[in-house]
Homo-oligomer: A and B are copies of this chain.
């Protein structure tokens, strides 16, 4: 029988994965507790059914937690309570961009309540029609319990490791890709301040064309997401461990993304400098 899946919350990623599942014939529950009309609309468009927590823990076989990093532990606590009250529950997959400490604490809450916990990590963008979609990495002793998702249109990869391994993968991967974007943003802004932006672009075009092409796509993509990346950079700093001096790289990246997010709400001078740099190819 096709399993029932719960996805909380119906954000951009959650509802896009839900649509894959409902198109594959699965019943997908969600919670609209504390969510606005946009979530309600997305949930409906993806074919999700709104349900209360007691219904979710009673009827769902698998629950995917997909929320902003700062809400991940609260959601695990909330469903651990519901699982304890119901005396049963779905396999709880924490698929959030949180640190190893957070996912370990969430495991503790869910397991103590009698539930089964899986560490998950989504790498890639929300799936769109015709695209293969992101990969859901899984780790921990119960990772095999969610294998059914691969028959429902999701791409799964299981890591041979404990709870924490999937999160470590997500953090280290994001630390490379979003760390590179931070390094590029920091240096382009500094070069522009020093009047060396055109020379930097010319040298990159001559000797690092692949990087320059990458920046032309990744920097504009970063600007509207910078506010969300602050907490992710701080999670990566904690993942490195402040005993290692390189953790400061991610303190710096968090501060930069905070600055870009504020600039987007404010004067826009930094974003204009990035745009000028990327558009300036003809000015040399």
Write the chain B residue with the least CB distance to A161.
Answer: B195
In the complex, the answer to whether A176 meets B204 with C-beta atoms within 8 Å is yes
In the complex, the answer to whether A190 meets B168 with C-beta atoms within 8 Å is yes
- In the assembled complex, which residues on chain B have CB atoms less than 8 Å from the CB atom of A183? 175-176, 179-180, 183, 249
A213 CB to nearest chain B CB (Å): 10
A165 within 8 A of B: yes
In the complex, the answer to whether B137 meets A186 with C-beta atoms within 8 Å is no
A22 CB to nearest chain B CB (Å): 26
Interface residues of A in 176-195 (CB under 8 A from B): 176-177, 179-180, 182-191, 194-195
Write the chain B residue with the least CB distance to A200.
Answer: B172
In the complex, the answer to whether B259 meets A253 with C-beta atoms within 8 Å is no
Stretch from A2-10, A75-83, A239-247 that touches the partner: A239-247
Dominant SS among interface residues on chain A: helix
- In the assembled complex, which residues on chain B have CB atoms less than 8 Å from the CB atom of A202? 157
Known A-B contacts A191-B172, A204-B173; the reply to A259 vs B245 at CB < 8 A is yes
- Residues of A participating in the B interface, judged by any CB pair closer than 8 Å: 100, 123-124, 135, 137, 157, 159, 161-162, 164-166, 168-169, 171-173, 175-177, 179-180, 182-191, 194-196, 199-200, 202-204, 206-208, 210-211, 239-241, 244-256, 258-259
